[in-house]
Structure 1
Amino acid sequence: MNQAVDWQSPYFPKIFELYDRADFAQEFLRRSPTYRRAYRSARAAPTALRAARLTTLARRWGLVFRP
């Protein structure tokens, strides 16, 4: 079982010392209910529409997906 990180710990801020822009962006999106709903919706689209919806999602949020 994964142990939750104690955000009140004095060591918690140290986690972020190694983060770059991409890491912070990922954390923001991971926590954004709006993005999460949009991503789920795009992934749930029929196969014929999925790529177009993911492209639209990426454009809206400024993402680049690696192949």
Structure 2
Amino acid sequence: MNQAVDWQSPYFPKIFETYDRADFAQEFLRRSPSYRRGYRTARAAPAPLRAARLTALARRWGLVFRL
């Protein structure tokens, strides 16, 4: 179970010392209500449409997934 980190803790900023751009981007998206809503909608789409909706979502948010 993930425990919430106390942002008031003096150790809180240390969490981000090793973050790179991708880590910060992931944290932004994880907290974005708009992205989360779009992802939830895309995942709930019928199977034939799901890939296209996820691709459109990725394009909208500027995401690139390397194979």
TM-score of the pair, normalised by structure 1: 0.92
Alpha-carbon shift at residue 66 of structure 1 (Å): 4.2
CA shift at 1:15, angstroms?
0.4
Q: CA deviation at 1:20?
A: 0.2
Structure 1 runs (4+) greater than 6 angstroms displaced = none
1:13 Cα offset (Å): 0.2
1:34 maps to 34
Partner of 1:6: 6
- For these two proteins, the number of residue pairs brought into alignment is 67
Which has more helix, going by share of residues?
1
Query: What TM-score do the two structures reach when normalised by structure 2?
Result: 0.92
Deviation at 1:4, TM superposition (A): 1.8
Q: Which runs of 5+ in 2 are unaligned?
A: none
- Give 3-state SS (helix, strand or coil) of 1:18's partner: coil
Aligned CA RMSD, in angstroms, stands at: 1.1
| C-alpha distance after superposition, 1:15-58 (max 9, x if no partner) | 00000000000000000000000000000000000010011000
The equivalences for 1:18-29 within 5 A come to 18-29=18-29
